[in-house]
Amino acid sequence: MAEKHEENLERLKEEYKKVQAKYKLPSFEELDEEFEIRKIDYDLFLIKEVRRTICHRLTAFADLIEPILNPAGHSLHSMIETKIFEKEDLEEMYKFYKKLWHYAHKGIHASLTSEKDEVEFIKEVWKIWPELKKPIREYSEKITEGWGKEEKEGVGEHYLS
């Protein structure tokens, strides 16, 4: 089974090298490090699949912070995560959330137009990726730390009243 996986990965890398050269895209290793493109089947529409994988990553990050920005009334998960952040943090988080969805929708739109537009989307997101990755890393770290902290008040004192 591992042998079959390695064979598929090598074929994917070969196919990617062709589109990389054609469109001047980042290396397979770089994109794989950030977006796990190794999961793509080599015999699919490679550019579409790379774009889809990037969009999936963007929406996963947006989904991470959405319960904080839009807490569900009866969600213990939302209540806990909302309490981790100060009110003044939320304005920047909101702007970042919009930026993530802007790019996700841009990718969806590119999928409906042309391969050239999908390539441009991949290049654009790749260029700004460090500025997108930094806040999500910070939010993720703060969320993780928040989940590890002891609550001063019990659930019944705040949530169930």
φ/ψ of 29, rounded to 5, equals -60, -40
Q: How far apart are CA 88 and CA 27, in angstroms?
A: 39
For the segment 87-139, what is each residue's pLDDT rounded down to a tens digit? 999 999 999 999 999 999 999 999 999 999 999 999 999 999 999 999 999 99
Domain boundaries, the chain: 44-150
Q: Is the pLDDT of residue 54 over 80?
A: yes
- Two tokens at 13? 């890398």
Helices in the chain by DSSP H: which ranges? 2-23, 28-35, 46-69, 76-84, 87-111, 115-148, 155-158
Residue 78 vs residue 5, higher pLDDT: 78
Q: Is the pLDDT of residue 43 over 90?
A: no
Count of alpha carbons within 13 angstroms of residue 98, beta-carbon side: 5
Residue 159: per-residue pLDDT: 47
Residue 155: per-residue pLDDT: 53
Q: Is the pLDDT of residue 161 over 50?
A: no
Residue 153: per-residue pLDDT: 59
Residue 7: per-residue pLDDT: 83
For residues 11-36, give the mean pLDDT. 96
